[in-house]
A and B are shown apart, each in its own frame.
Chain A
C-alpha cells in the first residue's frame, strides 16, 4: 500500500457531519500534500482505518452512537491502526484550554472547533510521523 507521491499524506477525517468532513477534505486537498478520506459513522472508523491506512486521523469527539474517545480506544486496540496519530477536532473544548495544554489533552492532540485552515494544517503537520525517506 505504498503511494507513489511520497509527499502526499493520507488523512482520515471522522465526524458525524458530512458538511464538515467535506469542507475539511476540500481545504486539505486544495494543497498537494494531503489525500483525505472522510467518514461520518464512527462505528466504521476502525474498519475504514484498517482499509485506508491513514497517516493521521482527525477525530471528532462528540458523535451520536459512539464518541471520539471510544473510537480512539478501539483504534489503539487494533494492531493495524495502533500507531496512527489521532488529532481530536472538537467543539467540546475551548481553544484557550487546548492552547494552554500545548494542544495535548490526556495524551491526545486537540484542536478546538472552529479551526482555521492554517491552524488545522499546523496541527496535522506537528502530529504526522516523520516521513520515511524524507
Chain B
C-alpha cells in the first residue's frame, strides 16, 4: 500500500481534468495519472505498468462495450472502473456486464470516494485473481487425475462429479442431483449403502470396492475412499468420495491368475519334467512329473539341480548351462539321470531363460522329457533296420513299394538288376511291371493282386515270369503286404521279389527225376505184384501138389493097406465062420467069442472101406445123370440098415429135374455117408427124409441153375460147440467102432469136387438138416 497507485485514465483530457485533480490531491496514494484516448489506450498499456484503468464511458452503450472489450483484451488482468456522466443504471449495468469492476457517477462520488473505489477494485481484482488461480489449480488437479472425485450430499445425491466421471458415467454436469447409488451393481448396492450410512454417522471415511453396472451392461470395478466434509456445527455434511476405476487392473489380475493357473495345470499335468533353476543352478520349482521319474526321491527345492545327473554327463551339462546363462539361448541336450536305485533314465532337455527388469538372465526354465523308452525303441528300431538292411543286402531280394493311388512304384536297384536292367532303365510305374509280365501269366497275376486287395486271399504271393533284358523270362516269386485306409481300401503295398528261375529249373529236374523214379517204382511195384501173384500161384500149386501128393500117397497107402488088410480079414472071417460050424462052435462060450471076433472083422472092414473112400474122393468121372436116380440108388444101399434100425425113409423127390453132370459113385457115396450119419443119430428109430428140388435161381449168379438135395433126420442134433468142427478130418462124435471121423469130410470133398456146396444145420424142430447144392450142367 506504500507504493503509489498508478492509474491510467481513458477518455477526453478535458472531461477527465477534475478526476486528475482529485487524484493528485492525495499524491502519496496515487502517482501522476496518465490520460490517454480510448484509441491509444492499448499502446499506453504496452508502456509503463499501471495498476488500474478508469474509463470515462462514452455516450452510447455500444461504444462503451467496444472500448471495454478492447481494454480487457489488452489488459485482461487489470481492474477497470467506469465513470458515468449521470446516474444511468442501464449503462452502468451494461458496463459491469462487459467486465467493469465498478462504476461511479461524475460529480457525486469524486474525492475520497474515487480513491476508495479504486483501492477496492484493485483489491477485489487481486482476490479474484488469487481465487481464480487456486480454483484453476484445483480444477487442473481434478481434471487431470484419473481418479473419480465426487461430492455427495447426506441424502446420497451427487453434488459434484469430476470430469473423469465422463469416461465412466457420461457428462459429469448431468450427474448433479442424481442418486449416487443408482449405477452401483445391484449385488454391491446394499453393502455400499451401508458403508455410506455408517460413514455419515461416524464421520470416519472408509474404503470400499464395488462395481458399476452401466446402462450398456458393462461392469466397471471401482475402488473408493470417502472423506467426510463437516458442516458449520461440525456435523458430517457431505462426503468427498475419491474413486478409481480398477476394471483394467482387475481384468489383468484375473487374466494373470487364469494364465498362471493355465501354466500351472500344464506343468502339473504334463509328463514332461519342468524345472525352474536360478543362476546358481538351484532348483526353484519342480513339476509334479518329477515324481514319476524319481519316485519318493524327487529332488528337493533349493538343491543343486546337477546332483541327479549322471556323473559322466555332469560336466557337459554344466557347460551347457553356463552357455545358456551367457547367451540367453537354450540348447537341446540329451543326458542321463542316475537314480538312487542305480538305474539310468535318458532325458532330453531344453532350457529357456527368464530375464529380470534389467534384461539380465535371472532364471532358466528347463523342460525335460524321459526318453529312455524312446531311446530303447530307437535302438531296437536301429538294430532292426540294420538287420533288415543286412538281410536285404545279403538276400539279393528285389524290393518294391507301390503307391496304389498314383500307381507309382519304387523298384529297388536289385529288383531291376534281377532282370538285367540298370536303375535308370526301368521307370517307376506299375505299367513297367505289367510290360515285363509274361503274356501267359498276365491274367493270373492281375487276378492274384485283385484277390489280395478284395480280401479274398489273406496273403499276396505270386509266382510269375518277368522278361529279362536278354529276352528270356525269369521266374519271380513276389510277396507283399498292403497298407489300407480305414475303409479297407489298399493305398500302398510293398514287398519283395525273389528269383526262382534256378529253383524252378531244379524243381523241374527234380520233378522229372521223381517222375522217372515213380515210373520205376510203378514198374517195380507191378513186378513185385506179378512176382507175388506168381508166388501165390506157386504156393497154391505147391500146396495143391503137396495135397495131391499127400492124397495120392494116402490113396496108394489106403489101397495097399486095404489089400493087405482085407485078405487077412477074409481069412479070419471065413475061419470064424468055419469054426462056428464045427463042434467047437456049438459050445456057447466059443460061439459068443466067435461072434465078437466076427463083429471085430466087420468093423475093421468098415474102417478100411472108409479109408479107401477118403483117398479116392479127389477124382471123379463125370456124366450127365438124373439126380433122383442117384438118390434112389443110394437109398437102396442103406435100405436094409434103415429097416433094421426102424428108421422110416421118406422120399420127397421133385420130378423132371434137369440132368446134373456128376460122378454117380461119388455122389452115392456122399449120400450114403449122410444117410448113415442120420441113422446113427436116431438109435431109437425115426424118420429120414431125402428131398430134391430145383433150387431158386440166385440173382448174382445169373444163368447158373442149381438143384438141391436135403437129408433130414429126427435125431439128437449136433451140439452147438461142434457145429464148426463137423467137417474136420477124423472128427467124430460116434463111439469107437462106429465112425472114423472121415465120413462128412469125404462127403464135403465130393460135393466140392462137383463145384457144389454143403451146409449142415440143426433143425428148429429137432434133428439135423444137410443141404447140398449142385450146379446144373456143371462139370469138372
Contacts and interface: CB of A to CB of B under 8 A. Distances in A.
A92 B608 CA distance: 11
A30 B672 CA distance: 36
Given A94-B609, A96-B672, A116 B571 contact: no
A59 interface: no
Interface string B560-602: 0011011111111111011001100000000000000000010
Given A27-B577, A100-B668, A116-B577, A62 B563 contact: yes
A100 B571 contact: no
Interface residues of A, number: 26
A30 B601 contact: no
Contact of A20 (B562, B571, B665): B571
The CB with the most chain A CB atoms within 10 A, among B572, B577, B668, is that of B577
Interface in B606-630: 609, 612-613
Contacts of B562: 91-92
B463 interface: no
Contact of A114 (B569, B665, B668): B569
Nearest to B669: A96
B559 A92 contact: yes
The CB with the most chain B CB atoms within 10 A, among A15, A20, A89, is that of A20
Contacts of A97: 665
Interface in A1-38: 15, 17, 19-20, 23-24, 26-27, 30
Contacts of B566: 91, 112-114
Contact of A91 (B570, B581, B601, B669): B570
B637 interface: yes
B576 to A, nearest CB: 9
Nearest to B562: A91
Contacts of B298: none
Interface string A79-114: 000000000010110111101100000000000111
Contacts of A26: 574-575, 578
Contacts of A100: 633, 637, 665, 668
A89 B573 CA distance: 14
The CB with the most chain B CB atoms within 10 A, among A15, A30, A113, is that of A113
Contacts of B573: 114-116
B567 A20 contact: yes
B563 A23 contact: no
A23 B574 contact: yes
Interface string B278-291: 00000000000000
B605 interface: yes
Contacts of B672: 96
A35 B637 CA distance: 33
A19 B637 contact: no
Contacts of A96: 609, 637, 668-669, 672
Interface in A26-83: 26-27, 30, 62
Interface string B748-769: 0000000000000000000000
Nearest to B604: A114
Interface string B627-661: 00000010001000000000000000000000000
B638 to A, nearest CB: 10
A24 B572 CA distance: 10
A20 B571 CA distance: 5
Contacts of B563: 62, 91-92
A80 to B, nearest CB: 29
A117 B577 contact: yes
B581 A30 contact: yes
Contacts of A120: 574
Given A96-B637, A96-B669, A96-B672, A91 B574 contact: no
A121 to B, nearest CB: 10
Given A27-B578, A91-B566, A115-B573, A99 B612 contact: no
A96 B668 CA distance: 10
A91 B561 CA distance: 10
A113 B637 contact: no
A114 B608 CA distance: 11
Contacts of A17: 567, 571
A113 B565 CA distance: 10
B370 to A, nearest CB: 119
A23 B568 CA distance: 11
A82 to B, nearest CB: 28
Nearest to A112: B566
Contacts of B605: 114
Contacts of B665: 97, 100
A20 B570 contact: yes
Contact of A24 (B569, B574, B633, B668): B574
A27 B53 CA distance: 227
B571 A99 contact: no
A26 B574 CA distance: 8
Contacts of A62: 563
Interface string B667-689: 01100100000000000000000
A64 to B, nearest CB: 11
A95 B575 CA distance: 20
Contacts of A19: 568, 571
A23 B669 contact: no
Contacts of B571: 17, 19-20, 23
Interface string B260-297: 00000000000000000000000000000000000000
Nearest to A96: B637
Contacts of B569: 113-114
A34 to B, nearest CB: 13
A60 to B, nearest CB: 8
Contacts of B578: 23, 26-27, 30, 117
A26 B572 CA distance: 12
Contacts of A23: 570-571, 574-575, 578
A94 B563 CA distance: 11
Contacts of B572: 114
A2 B672 CA distance: 48
Contacts of A114: 566, 569-570, 572-574, 601, 605
B660 to A, nearest CB: 18
A113 B582 CA distance: 23
Contacts of A94: 609, 612-613
A68 to B, nearest CB: 12
Nearest to A111: B570
Interface in B328-381: none
A116 B597 CA distance: 13
Contacts of A95: 609
Contacts of B574: 20, 23-24, 26-27, 114-115, 117, 120
16 contacts: A20-B567, A20-B571, A20-B574, A23-B575, A23-B578, A26-B575, A30-B582, A94-B612, A94-B613, A95-B609, A96-B637, A96-B672, A100-B633, A113-B567, A114-B570, A114-B605
Given A23-B570, A95-B609, A99-B637, 8 more contacts: A20-B574, A92-B562, A92-B563, A94-B612, A94-B613, A100-B637, A116-B577, A117-B577
Q: Which 4 A-B pairs have the closest CB atoms?
A: A91-B566, A114-B569, A23-B574, A114-B570
Interface of A: 15, 17, 19-20, 23-24, 26-27, 30, 62, 89, 91-92, 94-97, 99-100, 112-117, 120
